[in-house]
Each structure stands twice: as structure tokens, then as C-alpha cells.
Chain A
Amino acid sequence: MRVTRALVFFGLLVAGGPARAQDSAPIEVVVEGEKSAPGASALTRAEVRQVPGAFGDPFRAIEALPGVTPIVSGVPFFYVRGAPPGNVGYFLDGVRVPYLYHIGLGPSVVHPAIVQRVEFHPGGYPARFGRFAGGIVSAEVTAPRDDWHGEGNVRLFDLGGVVEGGFADGRGTVLLGGRYSYTGTILSLLVPEIKLDYRDYQARASYDFGPRDRVSVFSFGAYDLLGEPKDRGLDILFGSEFYRVDLRYDHVFSRDSALRYAVTLGYDQTRLSEFRNGHDEMIGSRVEIVHRASDDVTLRGGADVTVDAFAASDLEHEDPDNPELAQRNALFPERRDIAFGGYADVVAKVARDVEVTPGLRIDLYASGGTTALGVDPRISAVFRVSDDVRIVHAYGLVHQPPSFLGPIPGLVPGDLENGLQTSLQSSAGVEVALPDDVSAGVTFFHNAFFDLTDSLSISSLDPDLTEDRRAQGYAVGMELMLKRRLTRNLGGFVSYTLSRSMRSVGRESFPSAFDRTHVANAAIGYDLGRKWRAGTRAVFYTGTPKAYPANGLIVPPRPKAPERGPAFYRVDLRLEKRWQVGKQGWLSFVTEVMNATLSKETFASGTGEDTTIGPVTIPSVGVEGGF
């Protein structure tokens, strides 16, 4: 039995599909036995390729899901059920990564060809996930394949590719992939005062020592740079990079039990200011076990420890009295953070049509001489009302150490003196399978937030982004999803979120800075025949609360129901022509436009003059191919 066939991982049971999958890109990969956690949404790569405006990027497609509130059109950082971007956790094959997207409007930091599936957990997620007080985005890479195959693409702004094959009679595999942007070259012609550069790589090797044992190493990393070329050199406006090496040992005890042990090394770095780099050297270890005790009971458990050494390069040229510097140093002190935790849950079919998953996660945090304990009970339940109707409940308590504005490599606030961030997440919904492969769902959610380090949501227009101000709050709302797979001849989806996200600080109680009452996405894809496929997607959301700048003054509390900025909409387009090349090869010409309507986005302002940006429109013309 191949290791792949019975490897249980990510809470998914993969129990069937051969490692030598003969899937060419347009065929949806569905792994037998795979199912999402209650309340989670799963996106397969084949489906994501058809989402207009996502540029074939599985992670970008997440913004179209219910519960996701964008900050700015096209920028792939978002609020999840009221939780800010800094509280959203990103995992790639179980490895925590600081971010999944290149700078600005860039693509994901891993080539889409190696992403088999992305799960989006807006709340109440399995105990396996922790240390984040918002949503979880968890990507799973494709299983190792020993048949030589590859995929590549050339677009206006970048090129990338992945190639993988086997050796030693299929016992070993090796994968290499990456992406390189030549935006620097193009921009130097169009906008010479800006230099934008990004690149990433992925490499994996695996070797099966027997039918039950596999050793593998998976390494990936990304680099981003935005600067202004000057005669004296490059002024770096933003620069960051991260790298990971994950050494793994997978063992299959039986068809029902499997273990993964892994050691992860990581290095994160971001340019702060004054050519100072804040960085994090990370080492972690984790073990995960899954055991199917019976047809009705599956046990899952694991433990992990991570040690992060945070530091910043020495300050050379800055006024030592600058309060911003003092606050920054206080927020990002040189230190060693340790997080140690364990989890366990049980997926139990307690009745013929009732499946319950109780779980518990406990994490112990230490940072700069301070410690904190997070005890996170979770429970979810699925009630099968009929073959076509399911009621899904998910509840969970989650904790997170202080976080920064968003996921930025190497910039994690230290000091647990003010405690952990906490969120009590709850949701309940109904999922209905309708005729003709159409599904629908409605979910109601309520998240209560305690002691959030949420500068983004509570700041006025002159935010003090480095201050550890804690906010309380809640988010309540309703999510709708109507979907037919985009891989069908005629497919599409409608997603809608109605929500309110509030914050309170001291005596003030006000809507979160990026609270949007209505967020809607609608997409449709149609097979035009002769391997032509066209799609379009509309995005609509209402405006954010008007901001009232303080300009340093002591000002009255903000209103609970402020005026709001105008709504925004955009339409994305996608057109693809595909050719079959030989038995397994394929070639595609893809043209895609995000914001074909050239819509401008207006931000609310308390100055009486709204700020309008854009139109931020991204055209993409490219060729993709694979074998």
C-alpha cells in the first residue's frame, strides 16, 4: 500500500486515489473520501481557475466567499467575520506562513499548480488550527507524483512553472517550481520612478522507504520588493521575504491510522524603516496523528512547539527620542517567543444522521518573560435532515497572541503583559443540495472579540499603528451561498454577506473601520464550445464608516452610526481557449481583466472630501500549458 493512499492529514481522509493521478489541469481533482470541516468552504484548483478576477489563484478566490469583507478592491487581505487581517491565519501544508500573497495586487506566493485544495474556515474550526483569533486559510499541496509532469505560464507580469517526477522506480519524487516577476522591467519603462519585484520558489523531494514510511522535505519561500530607484541607489519603500523548510516523516500504521512528524525551519524578514530589517528565525516541530477507531469514530490529535527569535538590525540613524521609534521597539522587542500546544478532537457519528466533533486545544505562550495560556474548546455538529438537507453548527473559543495590522513577515508584537486576544466564534446554518448539481446554504454567525490588538479597525485617519490598544467588539451577520460548480458547462455562484462589526475602546463604541454592511459576489462561467470558455464576475460592497481624523487632538467619542462612504462595484472578465496537445498535454490562452468597468473606489473621509483611488484595473494576458 502506498503511503499516499492512506495518509490522513489536515482532517481529511485520503483513502483511495492513486498517487499517479492522470489529471490534466481542467479536470477537477477530487480526492476520494475528502470532506470539509463543518462550516468550512473548500476550493479546488480546477474550480478556482474559472473564477474571473482571481487569475487562477486559489487564494485570491477566497475573497469571493461569504464571510469575507475586502479592505480595498483587489488587495488580497480581508476581514473574516469581523476579524481583521492580522487575525487570519495562513497555513500551507500545515506550515504557518506569514502571508500567501505577493505585494500589493500580486499573486499567491506558491504556484497554483501545486495547490490541490484550499480550505477556508471562517470560524469554529477544528482543534487542529489555533493561535489565530479570526479565520483560517489552509492550503494543501498536491500529493507527490512519480510520473513526470509539469505546468507553466507566461503572463504580462510574470512567468512561473512547476515540474515534478519520480526516481528510484517511483519510490522517490522531486518537485521544483517557482515564479518570477518582470514587473521591474516593465514598470521601469512605464513608471520609471517605481521598482516592483516579486518571486517565489517551491521545492519538494520525497522518498518512500517502504509501503508505510515516507520521508520528504518541502521548502518554499517568497520575496517582495517595492522601491524608488534613485541616483544614489534604491530607496526601499517595502521589502519582505520569508522561507520555510519542512522536513517530514509520514508513517502509516494501518489503513485506519497515520502519523506525521515534522520539523520546520523558517526565516522571515521585513524592512522596517531606515534600512532596518525586522526578522524572525523560527524552528518548530509538530506531530499529528489520525486514527479511525470505527466507521463512526475518528480520533485526531497532535502537538507542536515553535520557537521564534525576533530581532531587528541595529538602529543607526534615528532620533532616539522619536516616540514612534520607542513604540516600535516596545511593540517589536528583540526576544524569543515560544508557543507550545496540543489538541485532540473526535469526529463521532453519534446517531445515524448526526455527526459531532468535540475538540480541545491548549496552547502555552511565552514571550519576553511573560506567559499566557489559551484553552480553546471547540465543537461542531452536522445534522442530516434528509439526503439533501444538512444543518451545520460550529462553535469555538480561540486565542491569539498580540498581532500586527496584517500578516507581515517578522513583525509580530511581543509581550503578553496585556494578555491574549480572544474570540468566541459561533455559527449555525443550513446546507441544501438542489437539483442539477446546485447547492445553497445560509449561515448565521456571531463572533465576540475580547482584547483585540486591532489598530486597523479602531484607528481614525491618523492612526497610531504601533500602540497596543486593546479593543472589544463583536461581529454578527448572515451569509448566503448559491453555487453550481464552475467546472460545469454552465456554472456559477452567488455569495452574499450581511454583517455588522463593532468595536469598543474605553467609552467609545463604533463600527469597525472596514465594516461593510453588504458584500456580494456573483460569477458565471459558460462553455462556449470548441474549448472556448468565458466567465464574468460582479463584485459589490457598500461603503465603510466615515472616518473622523483627530489630528492629534483630544476629540469627542465617535458616533455609533456614522455616515458611510459610497458603495463600490466592479466586473471581472475571463476568456480562455484551450487546446489538447497529445494525450496529456494542454495549452491555454487566457485573457482576464479585474475591474473591467474601470470602477474607482472612494474611501470615506471626515474632511468633507472623500478620497478616490483608481481605477485599479489589472489586465492579464497569458499562455498556460502543461503535460
Chain B
Amino acid sequence: MRRAFAILASGAFAASGCLVNDPRPPPGSLLVTASPDQAIATGVVSDDGWAVEYPRFLVSLGNASIEDEDGTCNHTYSDPTYQRVIDLSQGSGQKVNLAFGLGSCSLDLELSSPRGDSVLGKGVSAEDRDFMRTPASDDFVSDGGISIHVVGRATKAGVEKRFTWSYRFRVDYTTVGVSVGDQIARGLELEEDQRLTWDFPIRGAALLWDHREPSAAALRFDAIASADDTYGDGNGDVTLAELGAVPLADIAASDRYDDAASDWLTLQDFVYAGLFRRVVDANALEEEVFPNDRNPH
């Protein structure tokens, strides 16, 4: 009918003038999901005896992008150009994005503060999204939005510590991968009409690591608790600023906090600059970090 109408409206010229329909073969799809680790899902006991749990663990993740590394991937199908704010405390396998491609492809992922139209996951409210979109400053970012917002609680021997931390950097994960057994699979083989799922763990435990490499890390909270007790106001709330008062030199030993970057001076540096970006277990070949500020990067 449409064709007939076009031809009637245009005379013979339209027959050759109409825009072509989609000549591409049907793509395969990749469902990107995120799941909490044990620390978020059920809580975890640290190696130094603290029972740590996360009542809320908000992550703004998305912009999953199918990429063509060597000309073997048709990535012209749509990319889901949006973020989803998910609360990992709400369960496993939460959808992040659905992407399409065909051939041998790779995947990029973005951790960044939400936009006004970011999709809300289960248990996440518009107020949560607005909160994460509201610029504020910390010791690392000026007027930035929030990529990760955690509300945690730790108890040990009748002592309770609470912490509410916001991470204001954006992390671009390039060529991400998932763990398959002991291996990391980064390449995607997408065939026509094939449906794949990649699930990315979100690691609450990463914030307790005493080493940047998970294989070498133990879970510790004593140093974090000391930020409130020894270096802070002792009110039970451990703030990032209080972590900033803990010199790494005071807590570093041969088996802990010993792989800090040279310009990290405090525990806040270690947690904020070193551990937060490891929360998303993206297995990326490359990570780029930018402030979540107003400037496009």
C-alpha cells in the first residue's frame, strides 16, 4: 500500500527514489546483566572479623556498545545508548542493556552518573536518580554526579559502623569480558538470531580489599573503622573525609595496602581512586577514568 501510494504520489520517479529497506541480515543479541557478589547479596565477614552488609548498592551502568575490532563485526545495529540505575541489593541478573551485532565483536561498557532519562532498576526511585545527578564535590571531583552510591553497615563485637559513600568518577571500560571458568572471554561471536547473555558481577567486597589485585587481596575493615574511631569524630559513621585522614603509611604493611599508587597518601585515596573502579568486574582491557562533571570527555 505504502509503495503504491508513493508511486502514485511521485510518478515513475519514486520507484527508484524510495529509501531502501534494511538489507542487513538479522543480528545476534547480547543481553548485558549485572549481579551482586556475596558481600552485597547476603553480606560477608571480613578477614579481620567484621560482618559487612550493604542495604543499598546503587550503580549507574550502561551504554553497552558493540565494537568492531578488526573488520569482522557488523556493529551498525543499534547500541543501547542509555544507563540503568540498579540497586544490586535487589537481586541477581538485573538487566543493564540489550545490544545487537553480528560477527566477531567486542563490547565496551560505561560506569557513569545517570541522566534524566536513565532507566530505573528494581527498588530504585526517581529521587535516587536525581540524587545521583545532583552535582557535588569531594576531594577528587568538583561538581560531579555519582556513579556508585553505597550504604553499608559493619558490625564486630557489638560495635557498629555505618558508611555512606559516593563515587563521582566515570569509568569507560573498553573491551570488557566475562569469566568462563579460569579464563576471561572478551571476544563475542554473534551469529544470526543468536541470543547471548553476559553477566557482570558487581563486587561489594572490592571496597574492603586491602590490595588492588583481587587475587592478592584480603577483606579488611579495621582500618576503615579506625578512620572514625582514631582519626574521625567517633560517631559511628565512617565518611570518605575520615578515610582521608588515615595516612596509608600508618596502615600499610607487607601484606596489606602495599600496592598503592605513588601519589596516594591516605586510605581515602586507596578506596576512592583504587578500589571503586574495581567494583564492576568488567575484565576490561582498558579503563579510562573521568570526573562525572559537566564537561563532555
| Residue B119 interfacial (CB < 8 Å) | yes
| Residue A233 interfacial (CB < 8 Å) | yes
Return B120 CB to nearest CB of chain A, in Å: 10
Complex alpha-carbon distance, A203 and B2, angstroms = 22
Complex alpha-carbon distance, A203 and B115, angstroms = 50
Complex alpha-carbon distance, A243 and B12, angstroms = 11
Return B28 CB to nearest CB of chain A, in Å: 10
Complex alpha-carbon distance, A273 and B116, angstroms = 22
CB-CB under 8 A from B20, the residues of chain A are: 236
Are B95 and A275 in contact, with the CB atoms below 8 A? no
Complex alpha-carbon distance, A477 and B26, angstroms = 55
Interface string of A25-42 (1 = CB under 8 A from B): 000000000000000000
Are B5 and A551 in contact, with the CB atoms below 8 A? no
| Residue B219 interfacial (CB < 8 Å) | no
Are A549 and B115 in contact, with the CB atoms below 8 A? no
Are A233 and B23 in contact, with the CB atoms below 8 A? yes
Whether A552 touches B100, Cβ cut-off 8 Å, given contacts A275-B21, A324-B81, A324-B82, is: no
| Residue A530 interfacial (CB < 8 Å) | no
| Residue B106 interfacial (CB < 8 Å) | no
Interface string of A494-518 (1 = CB under 8 A from B): 0000000000000000000000000
Complex alpha-carbon distance, A420 and B9, angstroms = 29
Are B27 and A267 in contact, with the CB atoms below 8 A? no
Contact of A318 among B23, B78, B119 (CB under 8 A): B78
Are B294 and A606 in contact, with the CB atoms below 8 A? yes
Interface string of B82-104 (1 = CB under 8 A from A): 10100000000001011110000
Are B8 and A265 in contact, with the CB atoms below 8 A? yes
Complex alpha-carbon distance, A464 and B133, angstroms = 16
| Residue B125 interfacial (CB < 8 Å) | no
Closest to B295 in A: A607
Return A212 CB to nearest CB of chain B, in Å: 29
Return B130 CB to nearest CB of chain A, in Å: 6
| Residue A550 interfacial (CB < 8 Å) | yes
Contact of B21 among A203, A219, A243, A313 (CB under 8 A): A313
| Residue B114 interfacial (CB < 8 Å) | yes
CB-CB under 8 A from B24, the residues of chain A are: 232-233, 275
Are B119 and A321 in contact, with the CB atoms below 8 A? yes
| Residue A277 interfacial (CB < 8 Å) | yes
Q: Count residues of B near A (Cβ-Cβ below 8 Å).
A: 54
Contact of B294 among A230, A245, A327, A548 (CB under 8 A): A548
| Residue B13 interfacial (CB < 8 Å) | yes
CB-CB under 8 A from A199, the residues of chain B are: 17
CB-CB under 8 A from B294, the residues of chain A are: 548-551, 553, 555, 606
Are B19 and A322 in contact, with the CB atoms below 8 A? no
Are B296 and A267 in contact, with the CB atoms below 8 A? no
| Residue B134 interfacial (CB < 8 Å) | yes
CB-CB under 8 A from B144, the residues of chain A are: 553
Are A265 and B26 in contact, with the CB atoms below 8 A? no
Complex alpha-carbon distance, A277 and B22, angstroms = 10
Would you list which residues of chain A between 222 and 250 have a CB under 8 Å from chain B?
Answer: 223, 225, 230-233, 235-236, 239-241, 243-245
Would you list which residues of chain B between 39 and 53 have a CB under 8 Å from chain A?
Answer: none
Return B35 CB to nearest CB of chain A, in Å: 18
Closest to A607 in B: B295
| Residue A206 interfacial (CB < 8 Å) | no
Complex alpha-carbon distance, A548 and B13, angstroms = 46
| Residue B230 interfacial (CB < 8 Å) | no
Are B2 and A279 in contact, with the CB atoms below 8 A? yes
Are A327 and B19 in contact, with the CB atoms below 8 A? no
Are A236 and B19 in contact, with the CB atoms below 8 A? yes
Are A243 and B14 in contact, with the CB atoms below 8 A? yes
Return A83 CB to nearest CB of chain B, in Å: 27
CB-CB under 8 A from B236, the residues of chain A are: none
CB-CB under 8 A from B19, the residues of chain A are: 225, 236, 239-241, 269, 271, 277
Return A607 CB to nearest CB of chain B, in Å: 5
Whether A275 touches B135, Cβ cut-off 8 Å, given contacts A219-B11, A267-B6, A552-B115, is: no
Apart from the given pairs A239-B19, A275-B24, 6 other A-B contacts in the complex at a CB distance below 8 Å: A243-B6, A269-B19, A317-B100, A322-B82, A323-B117, A552-B118
List 19 A–B pairs whose Cβ atoms lie within 8 Å, in order of A's numbering. A201-B13, A241-B19, A243-B6, A243-B13, A243-B17, A267-B5, A267-B6, A269-B19, A275-B22, A277-B19, A313-B21, A317-B27, A318-B78, A318-B80, A318-B100, A322-B82, A549-B294, A552-B113, A552-B114
